Amino acid sequence: MSAGIIAMMLGVSTLLGALGLAALLWGLKTGQFDDTSKFLDAARFDGEEELKDAVLMEEKKKKALEKKKKVMPN
């Protein structure tokens, strides 16, 4: 086997692994793993309804913000 192929294989696999690691670190930094048990339960409870709920909350936030802007036009 030529040295070039080994170097490439090592490089690619390490890079792929590093990408996964980076994603994990990002998740950690944004607080997605702060609550271990809830993070696991999410797999059990998450469904269509939870998704709707999340969308609803976002809309609610948007509306509240818009309302604020109207009250204070400056």
Q: Tell the smallest beta-carbon distance from residue 68 to other proteins (Å).
A: 5
Q: Residues 69, 63: contact at Cβ < 8 Å? A: no
Shortest distance, position 71 Cβ to other proteins, whole Å: 8
Residues near other proteins (CB under 8 A) are 3, 6-7, 10-11, 14, 17-18, 21, 24-25, 28-29, 31, 33-38, 41, 44-45, 53, 56-57, 60-61, 64-65, 67-68
Dihedral of the alpha carbons of 41, 42, 43, 48, in degrees to the nearest 10: 140
CA of residue 66 relative to chain centroid, distance: 26
Instruction: Report, in Å, the least distance between residue 69 CB and other proteins.
Output: 10
